Chains A and B, each alone.
Chain A
Amino acid sequence: MTARTALVKGVLRSNAGRTRLMIAAIAVGVGAVGAILGSHTVIERTIEDSYASTQPADATLTLTGDAVAAEAIARDVTGVTQAEARREVTVRMASAEGWQPLTLIAVADFAAWDIGIAFAESGNWPPQDGEIVLERASLQEVDVAVGDSITAQSPGGEAELSVVGLAHDPGRTPAWMTGQVIGLVSPGTLADIGVGGNLTALALRTAPGFDRDTNSDIADATASALTAEGFTVTHVAVPEPGEHPAAGVMGTLLYLLQAFGVVAFVAAVALVSTLVVAEVKRSTGMIAVMKTGGATSGQVARVYVTALAAVATAGLVFGIGGAMAGTWALSSFAFTLLNLDATSMLAAWWVFPVQAAVALVVPLAAVGLPVRRLSRIPVRESIVTGSTAPARAPRRTVVGPRWGRAVSMGGRNAWRQPGRLVLTGVSLGVGAAAVITALNTGAAWDRIVADEFRAQDFDVQARLTEPIPRESLDASAAREGLARLEYWNTAVATVTGPDGQVGDVAAVLSPPADSTSATFPLVDGRQLSADDDHAVVVSQSLADPELSVGDTLTLEGDDATWTVVGVVRQLSGGLDGTVWVSEPLSSMNPSSATVLRVTGEGEDASLAALERVMEGSDASIEIAGTATDAKQSLDDHLYIITGLLLVMSIGLGAVGLLALVEAMSTAVAERRGEIGLMKSAGAQSRAVIRMVVIEALVVVGLALLAGVALATVLTGVVESAVGAIFTGAALPYTWWWPGVALTALVMTAAAAASSIVPAYEAADMPIREALAQA
């Protein structure tokens, strides 16, 4: 081993704790970047592959009549490579929670199923008449197991189905997002339930590589061909080819992760730079010895660069390990959300060289300049050469026991190394910003959920199988102890915006005039009023970004043009949002109702009372749910997202605190001579300790200011992203001040704790020793 290698080793070993900290920081940075890039590639690949594996339909035509007879005609159309009859219909099932929507999918022959397929996973396959195979993600929504039986009911009938197996359909929006239980049944079973045994949809596959427009043309040509043969085509749907329906949600989640990855990496680089620069500064004496021994600046710099490269390599090794674990964890999380199975958890190959580049190049680039500068300090300025040069005079200080003195000295000391102050402040500030943002986002979510339920006052909502006359149930409801019963009309309608484009599918709600559950928080415009004529208030997810106050729209099932007068924040509603109408659609009967909202003596009592009330009516309950159920599912989202954010941000906060500990011990080490002077001038240990602790507090105070400033931006970004993922619109910009106070408290305590050890060391140092090191 050459002496120079020994020197590098010495640099690394002389403070093993610091070396380990640097390795950890680089590992965290590399791990964060690697985990995010890695999971990005794994998730993207898996979404694409598993969606493709279902051989999704390139277009779906809804017909009246039997689509099996249409298959042959469609296959003759140019561009169509495969056509298959199917049916997708929503009925309801009885569950412990009440009635729940049940989407049934049927094809003529599951054994020959070719378009938009699901995969048998356990139990029997395919389902025979009277049997159902559930999509596996549905089990999160309903408490049913293979071997149980369920009751499926439609307005036309009811059947007992035995659950014989589970299937996996990776091409669908998972059940937790839609609240729908999904099952596969034979056409015969559909007939038993009373919705008829005909398969009324025709799924088409076109040649691979066709875009949406081409598929649209082919679908239209197929529709014409079918019309010519006497079929009636009622609806044509053409999805974006190759795009999983939940890809958008996942994209936003990944974007959020990326933001955190970048922030984590910046914090790690800031920490490493602080450490390296501090180390080089601390060893100016050694550098002078090296130079006296004939070392050039380049040779000196190389010692530190080699040491850093060794640290970076170790960090890279741990970082890649961490990245693989992180990739696995994030991808698993995403796959659970999306109901997908991973084919491989290995990141794309290029992620590894990127990590290597990030570990080796970025820290070197960050410290390159300061190391170069420091390695050029002339010998005379960095060593005790025997010259009686007057020492650079320490500031005149009169050291008294009072806090005032300690505060002003500690404060001034913090500013003495502006570079270090900035780097420590950035590491710590980034951590603080992340924690504050996570807490703010949790509070924003809490707030909209609270608003949502403050806006609605009911125990149970029930959708009926058929309309009932308004007021028809008032008497029996009062008898059963229901204090309030509202009659609503609802519909699901396609909303056509001002540009004439058919767009979102929304829940259209027509509440009674005196409803206690129809006033959601206003974002823009105004609420509906009694004298409105064809006015609507839309939910934010629908408004964003196409619709705004003053625009007009038309609704499926009504010929009128409606004017948007307000936008409200509302989470519950249809697939794409909600439209509140000033009067019922022409397709609705204003004197009857399809939805009931009841309030009584608690949710369970109200549900039971409603069931008894409905026994005396011609209609029955299609779906019923309590307000708490709805809240629960919104809260579940909150825990997922806030938990994820908090874990990431606490990691960042820890990096920041490590930076502070290191900065404080460096600051004390640098100032030994001065501390010796203070003590020889009569300062007591207490005064020294106070001074150091206050310096740490000043750093924390500045970092906290920087953190709050950064959090104002970060909170906006994260709250928008989280809102977009889970509600379709940005969350209201929310600050949770108790969270800021909590963060400040934790940081202050940590600052005091981190500075107390170096402060005691400094205070206990004998004067002679302290001065010798000056």
Chain B
Amino acid sequence: MTVTTTDTTVVALDGAERRYPTPDGSLAGIADATLTIEPGQFVGVVGASGSGKSTLLNLVTGIDRPTSGRVSVAGRDVTSLDEDELARWRGEHVGVVFQFPQLIPTLTVAENVMLPMDFLGAIPRQDRLANARDLLASVGLADQIDKAPGALSGGQQQRVAVARALANRPALIAADEPTGNLDSHTGEMILQLLKDLTDTGTAVLMVTHERGLSALLDRVVTIADGRIASDA
């Protein structure tokens, strides 16, 4: 398989491989992953537990590094960056949503959203609160901004996590089972939120267990035993 990329391609994996040694000598992780994602695409990643979905996602977000192959996101070759460069690059171009909201309990909801803005420093200081307010309004939490995360429901917390991922207007949102810990109604809200994002040109790469999302998703990448089995 060859990769064709354009100037605007958000994600380009070219034969990316991440292997973990296992006790029985076999290899786990992901191998030979080749994949591109364009702006505005909503791409789902499915597969059995332990098939390598999270490994793939962690390669894309720079949380993990490939043992071989190339990973390029927002035009940067991720493998060439050191930890600090990676952090800044991630802050600018990639928003990450985990299965658990991972909010910082000592910060208010708005402050959690503002934190990536503070670290990157791209948005002028005086605009950050207004930005955070807008983002929280867009996820339907305009009236919760001064609360502590602990005072929010699980679904609300996950929406804050989405708002935080959007803080620096990244080109890509990477979400690893963002609805895995939510009831189906709340989960649907999150999915709709991500769908709305793609309409504004943000690419979304989401690992999910849920079936029947084809209406929502532009593409579904299926992983089996550490390899991309299909991409359609």
* Interface positions of A (Cβ within 8 A of B): 2-4, 6-7, 9-11, 13-14, 285-286, 288-299, 376, 378-380, 383-389
Given contacts A294-B87, A384-B99, contact A11 B168 (CB under 8 A): no
- Set of chain B residues within 8 Å of A385, measured between Cβ atoms: 54, 58, 63, 98, 176
In the bound complex, residues from chain A placing their C-beta under 8 Å from that of B167 are 293
> Contacting chain A: which of B35-43, B102-110, B197-205, B219-227?
B102-110
* Residue B133 lies at the interface, judged by CB distance under 8 Å to chain A: no
Report yes or no: B168 in contact with A294, Cβ–Cβ below 8 A: yes
Known contacts A10-B106, A294-B116; A2/B50 CB under 8 A: no
Which of B58, B84, B115, B116 interacts with A387 by CB under 8 Å? B58
Choose from A6, A291, A292, A299 the contact partner of B106 (Cβ within 8 Å): A6
* B70 CB contacts on chain A under 8 angstroms: none
**B91: CB under 8 A from chain A?**
yes
**Which A residue sits closest to B132, measured CB to CB?**
A3
Contact B55 A387 (CB under 8 A): yes
Find A10's partner among B54, B104, B125 (CB 8 Å cutoff).
B104
Chain B contacts with A in 2-28, Cβ cutoff 8 A: 20
Bound complex: CA A378 to CA B87 (Å):
10
Which residues of the other chain, B, contact A9 by a CB distance below 8 angstroms?
106
Chain A nearest Cβ from B87, distance in angstroms: 5
B90 engages A384 (CB within 8 Å): no
Contact of B102 among A2, A289, A296, A388 (CB under 8 A): A289
B207 at the interface (CB under 8 A from A): yes
Chain A to chain B contacts (Cβ below 8 Å), 9 pairs: A4-B119, A6-B111, A290-B119, A294-B92, A295-B87, A297-B83, A297-B87, A380-B64, A383-B102
* Bound Cα distance A266, B87 (Å): 37
B78 at the interface (CB under 8 A from A): no
Q: Is the CB of B119 within 8 A of A299?
A: yes
With A294-B92, A386-B99 known as contacts, the answer to whether A7 contacts B87 (CB < 8 A) is no
Cα A728 to Cα B29 in complex, Å, equals 77
Is B228 engaged at the interface, CB distance under 8 Å to the other chain?
no
CA of A367 to CA of B196, assembled, Å: 46
Check if B168 sits within 8 Å of A376, measured CB to CB. no
Q: Mark B137-180, 1 if CB is under 8 A from A, else 0.
A: 00000000000000000000000000010011000000011000
Q: Which of A290, A294, A380, A388 sits near B50, CB closer than 8 Å?
A: A388
A665-B67 Cα distance, complex, nearest whole Å? 40
Task: Let me know if A293 and B116 touch, CB within 8 A.
Answer: yes
Q: Find chain B residues with CB under 8 A from A376 CB.
A: 83
Set A6, A286, A295, A297: member contacting B91, Cβ < 8 A: A295
Is B112 on the interface with A (CB-CB < 8 A)? yes
Other A-B pairs, 17, CB within 8 Å; known A294-B87, A296-B87: A2-B114, A2-B128, A3-B111, A3-B114, A3-B118, A289-B104, A292-B63, A293-B91, A294-B88, A296-B88, A297-B83, A297-B87, A380-B58, A383-B98, A385-B176, A386-B176, A389-B20
Residues of B within 8 A of A285 (CB): 102
> Of B20, B99, B115, B125, which is within 8 A of A7 by CB?
B115
In the complex, chain B residues whose CB is within 8 Å of the CB of A289: 102-104
> Which residue of chain B is the closest to A383 with respect to CB atoms?
B102
| Closest chain A CB from B103 CB (angstroms) | 8
Q: Which residues of B have CB within 8 Å of A292?
A: 61, 63, 90, 96, 102
Q: What's the minimum C-beta distance from A396 to chain B, rounded to whole angstroms? A: 15
Say whether B117 faces chain A, with CB atoms less than 8 Å apart: yes
A375 CB, nearest partner CB in chain B, Å: 10
Set A378, A383, A384: member contacting B83, Cβ < 8 A: A378
What CA separation (Å) do A389 and B176 show in the bound complex? 14
Q: Is B80 an interface residue (CB 8 A)?
A: no
Q: Shortest Cβ distance from B128 into chain A, in angstroms?
A: 7
The reply on B49 being an interface residue by CB < 8 A is: yes
A6 and B99 CA atoms in complex are apart in Å by 25
B115 touches A4 (CB 8 A): yes
Q: Which of B106, B108, B116, B176 has the most CB of A within 10 A?
A: B106
Quick check: A388 and B115 within 8 Å, CB to CB? no
Within the complex, which residue of A10, A296, A380 is in contact with B84, where a contact is CB–CB below 8 Å? A296
In this complex, the member of B99, B102, B128 whose beta carbon has the largest number of chain A beta carbons within 10 angstroms is: B102
Max chain B Cβ within 10 angstroms of own Cβ: one of A291, A296, A378, A386? A386
Indicate whether A294 sits within 8 Å of B91 (C-beta atoms), given known contacts A14-B106, A286-B104: yes
Q: How far is the CA of A6 from the CA of B105 in the complex (A)?
A: 11
Contacts of B74 in A (CB 8 A): none
Q: Give chain B residues whose Cβ lies under 8 Å from the Cβ of A6.
A: 106-108, 111
| B46 CB within 8 Å of chain A | no
CA of A384 to CA of B176, assembled, Å: 11
In the complex where A285-B102, A290-B115, A290-B119 touch, is A386 in contact with B164 (Cβ < 8 A)? Answer: no
Residues of A close to B90: CB separation below 8 A = 291-292, 294
Contacts of B54 in A (CB 8 A): 385-388
B217 within 8 A of A: no
Min CB gap B211→A, angstroms: 19
B57 CB to nearest A CB, Å: 7
Known: A293-B167, A296-B87, A376-B83. A386 touches B207 (CB 8 A): yes
Chain B residues with Cβ below 8 Å from A383 are: 98, 102
B49 touches A388 (CB 8 A): yes
Q: Which chain A residues border B119 with CB–CB below 8 Å? A: 4, 290, 293-296, 299
Report A-chain residues with C-beta under 8 Å of the C-beta of B118.
2-4
Tell me the bound Cα distance from A295 to B102 in angstroms.
15
Give Cα A234 to B84, complex, Å: 85
| Separation of A289 and B103 alpha carbons in the complex (Å) | 8
Enumerate chain B residues within 8 angstroms of A386, measured Cβ to Cβ.
Answer: 54, 57, 98-99, 176-177, 207
| Bound Cα distance A285, B99 (Å) | 14
Residues of B within 8 A of A293 (CB): 91, 115-116, 119, 164, 167
A291–B89 Cα gap in the complex (Å)?
A: 11
Complex Cα gap A427–B99 (Å):
42
Question: Within the assembled complex, what's the spacing in Å between the Cα atoms of A11 and B106?
Answer: 8
Q: Chain A: which residue is nearest B164 at the CB level?
A: A293
How close is B162's CB to chain A, nearest CB, in angstroms? Answer: 13
As a 0/1 sequence over residues 57 to 96 of chain B, the CB contacts with chain A under 8 angstroms (1 = contact) are 1100101100000000000000000011001101110001
Q: Closest residue of chain A to B99, judged by CB?
A: A386
In Å, the complex CA distance between A384 and B111 comes to 22
Q: A294-B119, A384-B99, A387-B58 are known contacts. Are A13 and B106 too (CB-CB below 8 A)? A: yes
- Closest-CB distance, B175 to chain A (whole angstroms): 9
B120 touching A294, Cβ below 8 Å: yes
Q: Which residue of A lies closest to B108 (CB)?
A: A6
CA distance A380 to B99 in the complex (A): 14
CB closest residue in chain A, given B106: A10
Min CB–CB distance A483 → chain B (angstroms): 82
Which B residue sits closest to A772, measured CB to CB? B100
| 8 Å CB contact of A380 from B63, B87, B102, B115 | B63
Give the shortest distance, in Å, between A382 (CB) and chain B (any CB).
10
CA A292 to CA B60, docked complex, whole Å: 12
Q: Which residue of B lies closest to A293 (CB)?
A: B116
- A386 to B52: give the CA distance in the assembly, Å: 11
Which of B87, B99, B125, B177 lies in contact with A291, CB distance below 8 A?
B87
Within the complex, the shortest CB–CB distance from A388 to chain B, in Å, comes to 5
Q: Which residues of A contact B92 (CB under 8 A)?
A: 294
Whole-angstrom distance between the Cβ of A286 and the nearest chain B Cβ: 6
Give A290 to B96 CA distance when docked, in angstroms. 11
Residues of A within 8 A of B115 (CB): 3-4, 7, 290, 293, 295
Q: Which residue of B lies closest to A387 (CB)?
A: B54
Does A3 contact B64, Cβ atoms closer than 8 Å? no
Cα A378 to Cα B84 with chains together (Å): 10
Distance of A10 Cα from B100 Cα, bound (Å): 21
A285 closest partner in B (C-beta): B102
Least CB distance from B173 to A in Å reads 12
Q: Determine if A7 and B107 form an interchain contact, defined as CB atoms under 8 angstroms apart.
A: yes
**In whole angstroms, how far apart are the Cα atoms of A45 and B186 in the complex?**
75
Residues of the B chain whose Cβ atoms lie less than 8 Å from the Cβ of A384: 98-100, 102
In order of increasing CB-CB distance, the 10 nearest A-B pairs are A294-B91, A10-B106, A386-B176, A293-B116, A3-B114, A387-B54, A296-B84, A3-B111, A3-B115, A295-B119
| Nearest CB on A from B206, distance (A) | 11
